[in-house]
Structure 1
């Protein structure tokens, strides 16, 4: 038996073993699911140093001792689920309709079953563990395929899962695209994918062969729209933080910023000053504040966007430097960017911020509508009419007003995209609902004793 044959057999055996537990999982208690979540938490806390070392090795992310970043976010998700799981799992009575007398109705939340979880590389720990929390909370089993572009974190994830779970509950298979494709040949009940829209289409097509339900957490060109009444320095500080976090390798990053034409020059100068303040000391980029680009292919892709924009007439306001040896691209701000430049057509997913001047809000909304519904929008204004016009004239997965990404931080808000930026919602109760089957039950007459 070859190694490949043995590996495929291991995948099939694990899938079959998990599938055999589906019926029993429907009767699991709240306490049993809580115990699984608490065991995961215990293992994560015990391996904080290992996780952070892997993230540094893969992406040059600065360790924080688990006090912030990916680890802290996942622990918060676990704590929320443990605290609220009893309420989430409770049978929900539904009022009977007047035309159905002598009936009683309720909703049971049962597990979807076997879940395939395909992780992302930009937050390779959190974007495996955060979806895993509602998968467990809803009573499912899971097979995880971490992303191969971050191999150190993939190994740590595999180690933690093996330590925390019986493989009949959760198992990990590492590897490249061929492993993901092999897993997608199996008839999972649900597939949870975080990544690019291009790959999301392939995941959805594979799931369609089995009529598997899907959660697709994708991306898009998330705009910041600054109104004419905004204090520019505060808006600039938030936009800079929202664009260059994780070197822009974040689906919720501010992809580009729109500013009234009369304020464009002043706003650009404040953005330039904030970049210098947040990322440089004595004119030197502080590498510990700027994770590296994940690989050379993405490094070249981002530089290609910059060069194309410059060839079409854009100007660099600050940044533009790069170092292939360390896969570092300095925080770069572009102005006078033509609308037909590649950087305005494709998700940037890198440390580059185009600033675009506008005369009327309608031209901004028309541009957004013509380029796919983004995962998020950021609206800066204290003018309620401006905010309402923006909300009603656009569509996106979520919105934060007068800040960036905070709708993601609020665990009581569903998180997800729409159409090209994704489908399905998770976080908190929304995640439990996403990974559950809401089973409708109606009883005619009184049940017999």
Structure 2
């Protein structure tokens, strides 16, 4: 059904029209101008789809995309230039370069939790690298998806960038096409389907998934600041963030005190919003029911909900353990279980026994202890004494490993993700070193000696 759009982009890409750096920069500027034009519509759509307020929408959706575009415009020509690398003495007379080339026609499948940011940020990388792109936004945020379609249609011809809306069947039909690259953000379950479909065409993929990202709090942490930053990162977007703290694992010596601060800041930041029914909604009834089912046990704060508008109060569950319902899968909602440990080494084993999380946060004033945790637990990325802020720097790659995904992006890493690095050896014709040829086998013994 979507073959015609795919082939239009394939033909356009093969004209090499997207290759010049100036064309790529112009495309990024067109995208930025279109976002500015539709910014009010984006904000309205966020409110309509799940009650996201304008301040949060700009901070986490629109503003961060502007920043990403600006960074690419500033650095694109340097990134796209061929890079000369060293050549070994055995290749005397030759030189080595790495050329940068786009993959071709790319597919970007974006999720519902940050429906604008997580569609646009990969697109910036695809355009910066010189690709064409088909965007598939989430059907769960129909108003945002409609704005994205209008915005992209305003900025680009269909043969360069286009948007295709739809549900599961649309995804299935798109995944049957032989794309040159696929970038998927969403659940691990669907990530497996995407990877299986891509394997039929040997299409390379980036999978940005999720997992149970812990905040590990040691006994020497600044508990007040720790709680403040955990609460901010956890309950923003109603907890529907892939790198939000999924559970707190705190030293039992300070756990109760930490819970007190967690309660304080949760009330301070979000009580008025919830009381006024201004807090962000859960995306749909299915997810509301799932997240609400986790509210059981020793509830230290929250627990209320407005079912008719799919709104769950930020909730803290103290004295939870690994058998608690909230610890069986990624929560992806405003419920925060707090677990305690007596021994850090045992706590690290517990976390290692779980699937690799997308993020991990460690809170401590002991740099050696922080490094010990970072080095001994596999995870995608994270922070020391903070949560989520590592996403906001274009100088750090963002991505998971294992169950939490593969590949990386943001800043230079987005350009690299959508770029094939073509290795070329430039050989001289002024002379020819005979060692490689059969009649010089005795001299090849010299190479054997050197290489060994």
Q: What residue number does 1:441 align with? A: 424
| C-alpha deviation, 1:69, in angstroms | 2.6
**In the alignment, structure 1 residue 297 sits paired with structure 2 residue 286:** yes
Tell me how far 1:382 sits from its aligned partner. Answer: 1.5
TM-score by structure 2 length? 0.93
How far does residue 284 in structure 1 lie from its aligned partner after superposition? 5.9
2:434 — aligned with what? none
Answering whether residue 98 of structure 2 is matched by residue 107 of structure 1, we say yes
Aligned-pair CA distance for 1:19? 0.9
Structure with bigger gyration radius: 2
Alignment-derived partner of residue 51 in structure 2: 60
> Which residue number corresponds to residue 219 of structure 2?
228
Task: State whether residues 249 and 338 of structure 2, in contact with CA within 8 Å, keep that contact through their aligned partners in structure 1.
Answer: yes
CA-to-partner distance for each residue in 1:198-236, whole Å, 9 max, x for gaps?
Answer: 110111111111110001000011100111111211100
Alignment check: 8 A CA contact 1:226 1:380 kept: yes
Q: 1:82 aligns with which of 65, 73, 83?
A: 73
Deviation at 1:345, TM superposition (A): 2.1
* Residues 258-269 of structure 1 mapped to structure 2, 5 A cutoff: 258-269=249-260
C-alpha distance in 1 between matches for 2:260 and 2:365: 22
Note the C-alpha offset of 1:22.
Answer: 3.0
> How many positions carry a matched residue from both structures?
431
1:26 offset after TM fit, Å? 7.7
Tell me how far apart the structure 1 counterparts of residues 350 and 328 of structure 2 sit (CA, whole Å): 10
CA distance in 2, matches of 1:408, 1:284: 27
Does residue 376 (structure 1) correspond to residue 359 (structure 2)? The answer is yes
Contact 2:222 2:365 (8 Å CA) reproduced: no
User: Kindly tell me: are residues 189 and 277 of structure 1, through their superposed partners in 2, closer, same or farther at Cα, counting changes over 3 Å?
Assistant: same
Structure 2: which 5+ residue stretches go unaligned? 432-452
Instruction: Give the conservation status (yes or no) of the 8 Å contact 2:109–2:136.
Output: yes
CA offset at residue 27 of structure 1?
A: 7.0
Q: Does 1:149 align with 2:144?
A: no
Q: 2:332 aligned to 342, 349, 369, which one?
A: 349
How much does 1:66 deviate?
A: 7.1
After TM superposition, the runs of 4+ consecutive aligned structure 1 residues lying more than 4 A away are none
**How far, CA to CA, are the matches of 1:279 and 1:411 in structure 2?**
29
2:196 matches 1:213: no
Contact 1:114–1:189 (8 Å) recurs in 2 = yes
Task: Structure 1: give runs of 5+ residues left out of the alignment.
Answer: 1-7
How far apart are the structure 2 equivalents of 1:304 and 1:95? Answer: 59
What is the root-mean-square deviation in Å for CA atoms of aligned residues? 1.6
Match of 1:5 in 2: none
Determine the C-alpha separation between the residues in 2 that align with 1:63 and 1:295. 20
* Residue correspondence of structure 1 range 49-448 to structure 2 within 5 A: 49-64=40-55, 67-281=58-272, 285-288=275-278, 290-306=279-295, 310=296, 314-445=297-428
Between the aligned partners of 1:126 and 1:447, the Cα distance in structure 2 is 54
Compute the TM-score of the two structures, normalised by the length of structure 1: 0.93
